[in-house]
Amino acid sequence: MLTDLYIYFLPVLAVIIGYVISIFLKPGSSSGFKLLLAFSGAYLLAVTVLELLPDVYREPDSGIGVFIMLGLLLQIVLEFLSKGVEHGHLHFHGNSAAFPILLLISLSLHSLLEGFPLDNDNHLLHGVVVHKIPVAAILSVFLVQSKLSKTKVFLFLAFFALMTPLGSWLKNSVPAISQYSDYINAVVIGIFLHVSTTILFESSKNHSFNASKLGVIILGILLAYFI
């Protein structure tokens, strides 16, 4: 029961933390934020490769690879709609009063899918939470700087925060979804692989690695392996 509460509560807490960070930092220019982003990408990639990927291949099935590639392609489409929020970039201009419905749809679908495999592994839950914090911070900066009302900003962030727990709940409550969990998880693997590798190779200027970034990447991988 306690584990279930963690699964449903921690992703929401990550969005709240991201919002608080957006108040005190400028995510687009803060070196500390960029290191957090690199750490989250390394941790998420390591958990995906070390734990989630072997799990879907526990029974050899050539169809799994197809669904991983579908997940990767789906994430490319989602990032076309979201302008890169999932990996720490946002190219929308924050001076519009129009509600960003495509952004909401893209992030919501991404968040819903990432909730499906969370009941399998606490490490993956932690990886999703760490990944969600910088995403929520970037998103919060955009929404607060836009001409949207405070009510719309709150509703957007609340809806976004609840989608990951909703995915976990659907997985645990709908037998038809549980029946195809390996294939859904394979789609999520493709999503995570694209997001995490993009974070690692785009979070530094000119795609270069400095000592600090290399250090947090190694730390993220080691934590995912040993914890």
pLDDT digits (tens, 9 = 90+) for 123-178: 788 888 888 988 898 888 888 888 788 888 899 999 999 999 999 999 888 888 88
pLDDT, residue 135, reads 87
Question: Which residue, chain included where needed, has tokens 């072997």?
Answer: 54
Number of domains in the chain: 1
Question: Is this structure's pTM higher than 0.75?
Answer: yes
61-74: average pLDDT: 89
13-32: average pLDDT: 79
- Residue 216, pLDDT > 80, answer yes
User: What domain range is 66 assigned to?
Assistant: 2-21+30-226
